[in-house]
Amino acid sequence: MHSLVALSKKAIHEYVVNREIISPLKDDLTDEMKKKAGVFVSLKKHGQLRGCIGTFSPTTEDIAHEIIRNAIAAATEDPRFNPVRPDELDDLTYSVDVLSEPEKVEDISELDEKKYGVIVSSGFRRGLLLPDLEGVDSPAAQLEIAKQKAGIDPNESDVEMFRFEVKRYY
């Protein structure tokens, strides 16, 4: 298990079982954990999504803190699911996505649903969809889902689009 995934698992376990928020030990931080980036933590149970929360861009001092914050949120605050219970912990699988800096794109032809995640925005509404997701087989489908997540009309053409890459860890 990659160290970023191990950190997410430990954070969730300690919070769900003991209601404690762990702090990363400086000596345990890898070089990657010391950087700043947006991070998504995804949980699956028996192959089905069980929680996913993340940040577009960094909101904490480093990736380690970003993972801890988003891991606990994925387990307890994803509005699509009830909070994870202690008896579910052994059934969970974890993944951590570290996002690159988003870059603005002008046309759907600059997107690739397997390689890039997408962010759409219109006014104050913003939606994000990670890359390479099961069932998302085109940039058009990716944009449609991101708009839906943002509450943007699917026919709205005046949206800003950004793409980003992820490093996905299991």
More confident residue, 155 or 77: 77
Give the number of other Cβ atoms within 10 Å of residue 81's Cβ: 16
CA distance 146 to 158: 14
Q: Spell 93-123 as b/e; 16+ CB within 10 A means b.
A: ebbbbbbeebeebeeeeebebeebbbbbbbe
pLDDT for the residue numbered 27: 85
Q: Give 81-109 pLDDT, tens digit per residue.
A: 999 999 999 999 999 999 999 999 999 99
Q: Which amino acid is at 110?
A: E
What's the mean pLDDT in 121-148? 95
CA distance 156 to 128: 16
Determine the Cα–Cα distance for residues 145 and 162; give it in Å rounded to an integer. 14
Q: Which of 107, 100, 119 is nearest to 162 (CA)?
A: 119
Q: Which residues contact 87 (CB under 8 A, 6 or more apart)?
A: none
- Per-residue pLDDT, 18: 98
> What does the pLDDT read at residue 28?
85
pLDDT tens, position by position, 112-133: 999 999 999 999 999 999 999 9
Q: Is the pLDDT of residue 77 over 90?
A: yes
Q: How confident is the model at residue 157 (pLDDT cuts 50, 70, 90)?
A: confident
pLDDT in tens, 28-66: 899 999 999 999 999 999 999 999 999 999 999 999 999
Structure confidence at residue 122 (pLDDT): 95
Question: Which domains can be identified in the chain, with CATH numbers?
Answer: 3-99 (3.30.700.20), 103-165 (3.30.1490.150)
State the pTM of this model. 0.93
Mean pLDDT, residues 136-145 taken together:
96
Q: Using the predicted structure, report yes or no on whether residue 25 has a pLDDT greater than 90.
A: no
Mean pLDDT calculated for residue range 59-79: 98
